Structure 1
Amino acid sequence: MTVQMLVAFVLFLLMAMPVGYSLVISGWAALSVFGPMPSSMALMKIFQPTQSFPLLAIPFFILSGSLMMSGKLGQKLVGLASMLVGKYHGGLGQVSVVGSTVFGGVSGSSVAEASALGSMLIPWQKREGYPGAFGAAVTSASSVIAGLMPPSIPLILFATVSNSSIASLFIAAVIPALMLAAGMMLACYFVGKRREFPRLKLKHTRAEMRSTLFTALPALLMPVFIVVLLRAGIATPTEVSIIAVAYALMVSGIIYRDLTGERVMAALVNTVITTGIVMLIIAAANIIAYILTSGGVPQAVAQWAVEYLKHPLLIILAINLLLLFIGMFLDLPAAILLLGPTLVSIANAIGLDLVQLGIMMCVNLSIGLFTPPIGTTLFVSAAIARERIGAVVKELAPFYLVAIIVLLLVSYVPALIIY
């Protein structure tokens, strides 16, 4: 049954069928055609995981991000980032990284961030004399920080797969996200200095800087607000997501005063579409996980890894190599839901903390988002910049290096993320 499912899944992918549909059809066929389960029970297996209370956090976090990102917030954040780092070498690249880091604490979605920030910053960088391919590279690489900064949708998905604490994952992800941001800013600085990219010569008074900081402060406080509520145990992640929506409505309606019926409707439509895509993958991945688990695949893989690789450090290296490869072909949510049960079994076998495994998976699979042949943020950014994928990939070399260094640190220095 497992073999038939995997063969069908690969064939559907080769036919360019969307991942969610490929998972549903191959899993359902494996259970109802090749397995002992009737079609009605197979459908129940698909429907069952969508009825999880913690998963309610996903649509509410998506809605809060859509409400805040669609108004004046983006302009305020870009203005603040320009004041802070625009005057340095590679300044506009650093503006992208700072903007991505803050936007990540609002949206929780790398693709949404690449689209929103890229449409603002890439044309600006080109007007200032930056190569379009470099602008696309910075945007595609830095936007993956959203996959780590609270409220991270991938981390919520990993928590559902592994039965880990969403709060612990959110808190543990902050330092790796900031390490990625700092490393990418350094990469922008050295590349800008070596290639003599133009530097912004904007002069701002202290009063203007204070005013810009004050107007951007509500957005800057969003991830802090989430982490504090979770760390203090004041609210559950689902409750925090609902509070985040109320916070977004208050900020947009009272502080920025740009909340309109059209914006609310557009945010709701975007939330429904995005949530539908995520829920489809969750439902499909559940039936795949059931088939793999009933066939003993996770336990067999874990036993093989322990017997043949033996040393935990080698097993962690093998996990990273596998994820780097899978991330090149599967989108992040699908990869987490598909590989999660197997990797959790391996982690339990070698004593690897599940929170550390979750951060490893998110960092690792995030690299796949800006890696060909199926890098989502890479394609979005290249399309905005109107540059060839090959040209953008060449500019990504220093950002790949930064991401790999951060991945190795979270893999082999657990003290960075486990407190």
Structure 2
Amino acid sequence: MALVFSSFIILMLLNVPIAFVLGISSLIYFLFFGNIPLAVIGQKLYTGTDNYVLLAIPFFVLAGELMNRTRITDDLVSFAKALVGRIPGALAQVNIVTSIFFAGLTGAAVADTAAIGSLLIPAMKKEGYSPEYAAAVTTTSSIIGPIIPPSIIVVIYATATMESVGALFIGGFVPGLLIGLGLMLVALLFALKYKHPRRKTRMPARELYVTTKNSLLGLLCPLIIVGGILSGVFTPTEAAAVACAYALIVGVFVFRNLSLKDIIASFGKSAITSGVILLIITTATLFSTVLTIEKIPEALAEFMVNLTTNKYMFLLIINVFLLFMGMILETGANVILLAPILLPIAQLYGINSLHFALIMLVNLNIGLTTPPLGVCLFTAAPIAGVRFEKIARAAMPFIGIEIVVLLMITYLPDMVLFLPRITGYL
């Protein structure tokens, strides 16, 4: 196993794509140590994505792509301006609120960073915000996307652990909103300190009405998805397909700005994005098989139990570990590799499986904004026209409040579990 882990680390340091890191490391094990027929590799690669729930991923990706090509993003930004435009640091607040709204459309942080960043980072720079600050606000608020439903990473987690997608969707609302409120508080403090601008006049009632009306189509999408799942009208996978149909209808027949060329481009980009995600899932499943054969989960469970019998200390250790893993490994790969290992250990400590899921998902999504991996930082850097390192430094206060929210979620479980309880998932 030393050779396997060494190859894993070396390939990571060489910046090899994570899917190939996982696949090559697994192949080394099966070739030299596994004493298992190589046909098992093909079987595991196939079964890694042979799951009906995973069909939701390409549908959600496509829905997000189609939404991005309509004017829904602009309408949501306008609505956010109407809501929080008079708060100090108005555009930073608008950025965060738009991320909350946009979470219901894409379910992916990188997509949120690209879509919202391309609109609001230039606008924030124009109003005097530093480019690194504008990018920091955009990247740190974009992690709300994978937490508030619908969410691609939630689908992956549900596949890895057999947790209810509906329960995870409902459970994500409170953590996502708490992160949004925390980020708004930090932005407010910065605005008061550095005299960031805000709108000083009240928006006319007529303009407010029009802005609200125009935003309804964007706001309805997550309500349809979550409402349909809760009511039993459709499954999460069917909900993703409904989201695609909704995006097409809105873009083609309502806004009439979604051309055939846009639709074809959306399908092409969605196919590439989905292919990357599913390749990571299938190779991570293969690597997970290696860990299982070597009894790594059992060894880790024994180590943790010997390390501490205190549930709260265990949660602290797990949070530190996951924050570290989120810095160096892609979120989907982390979920596939770690969730099946850590969840049974958490249950030994009497931790609710849904509570642990929410802790893990929030924690790993914070990793999207932290170096050295920080894919959202890399996405925002060219939009803002600044180096990755500058954005990372500017993001630290916002990451700090996200960690505070993470600790609240960790040690105050009723705060995040009450919605699943009242909706019948617990």
TM-score interval for Structure 1 and Structure 2 normalised by the shorter chain? over 0.9
Partner of residue 424, structure 2: none
Question: Does structure 1 residue 288 correspond to structure 2 residue 287?
Answer: yes
> Which residue type is aligned with residue 149 of structure 1?
I
State whether residues 327 and 368 of structure 1, in contact with CA within 8 Å, keep that contact through their aligned partners in structure 2: yes
Partner of 1:236: 235
Specify the code of the residue in structure 1 equivalent to 2:149. P
2:206 matched residue in structure 1:
207
Deviations 1:272-308 (A, max 9, x none): 0111011111110111111111221112211221122
1:221-278 C-alpha deviation (Å, 9 max, x unpaired) = 2222222112222211111111111111122122222121011111101110111011
Q: SS of 2:305's equivalent?
A: helix
Contact persistence 2:178–2:405 (CA under 8 A)? yes
Letter of the 2:95 partner, please give it: S
Which residue of structure 1 lines up, in the alignment, with residue 374 of structure 2?
375
The letter of the residue matching 1:395 is A
Across the aligned residues of Structure 1 and Structure 2, the Cα RMSD in angstroms comes to 1.4
Measured in 1, the distance between the counterparts of 2:94 and 2:271 equals 31
Say which SS state the counterpart of residue 101 (structure 1) adopts. helix
Q: Is the 8 A contact 2:69 2:258 kept in 1?
A: no
Q: For structure 1, which segment, 262-271 or 26-35, has the greater mean C-alpha deviation from structure 2 after superposition?
A: 26-35
Distance in 2 (alpha carbons) for counterparts of 1:187 and 1:224: 28
Paired residues for 1:12-411 under 5 Å: 12-201=11-200, 204-411=203-410
Moved more, 299-308 or 113-122: 299-308
- AA aligned to 1:86 is G
1:413 and 1:88 map into 2 onto residues whose CA distance is 29
Segment of structure 1 superposing worse, 392-401 or 95-104: 392-401
Q: CA deviation at 1:345?
A: 2.2
Any conservation in 2 of the 1:45–1:287 contact (CA below 8 Å)? yes
Question: C-alpha deviations, 1:303-349, integer Å up to 9, x for none?
Answer: 22112211111111111000111111112111111211211221222
* 2:332 counterpart SS class: helix
Q: Give the distance between the partners of 2:57 and 2:139, measured in 1 at CA.
A: 23
Percent of aligned positions that are identical:
36
Contact preservation (8 Å) 1:32, 1:38? no
Query: What SS is found at the alignment partner of 2:318?
Result: helix
Segment drifting more, 227-236 vs 106-115? 227-236
Supply the distance in 2 between the matched residues of 1:7 and 1:43 (Cα, whole angstroms): 24
Letter in 1 for 2:338: L
Distance in 1 between residues matched to 2:14 and 2:416, nearest whole Å: 40
Q: Distance in 1 between matches of 2:96 and 2:260?
A: 31
CA deviation after TM superposition for structure 1 residue 401, in Å: 2.1
User: Structure 1, unaligned stretches of length 5 or more?
Assistant: none
Offset, 1:107? 0.4
Question: What SS does the corresponding residue of 2:144 show, helix, strand or coil?
Answer: helix
How far does the alpha carbon of each residue in 1:54-79 deviate from its partner, in whole angstroms, 9 at most, with x for none?
A: 10011111111111112111111111
Instruction: Indicate if the aligned counterparts of 1:150 and 1:170 stay in contact, CA closer than 8 A.
Output: yes
Q: Which amino acid aligns with 1:252?
A: G
- Report SS of the residue matched to 1:51: coil
Residue 32 of structure 1 contacts residue 42 of structure 1 at CA under 8 Å; is this kept in 2? no
1:202 CA drift (Å): 5.9
Unaligned runs of at least 5 residues, structure 2: 422-426
Structure 2 counterpart SS, 1:50: coil
Q: CA deviation at 1:383?
A: 2.1
User: Scaled by the length of structure 2, what TM-score is found?
Assistant: 0.95
Distance 1:202 1:28 in 2: 63
Matches of 2:370 and 2:146 in 1, distance apart?
15
Distance 1:64 1:53 in 2: 18
Q: TM-score, normalised by structure 1?
A: 0.97
CA pair 201-266 structure 1, distance change in 2 beyond 3 A: farther
Separation in 1 of the partners of 2:350 and 2:335? 20
* C-alpha distance after superposition, 1:93-136 (max 9, x if no partner): 01110111111110011001101111110011111111111101
SS in 1 for 2:100: helix
CA separation in 1, counterparts of 2:304 and 2:259? 55
Residue 203 of structure 1 and its aligned partner are, at CA, apart by: 5.2
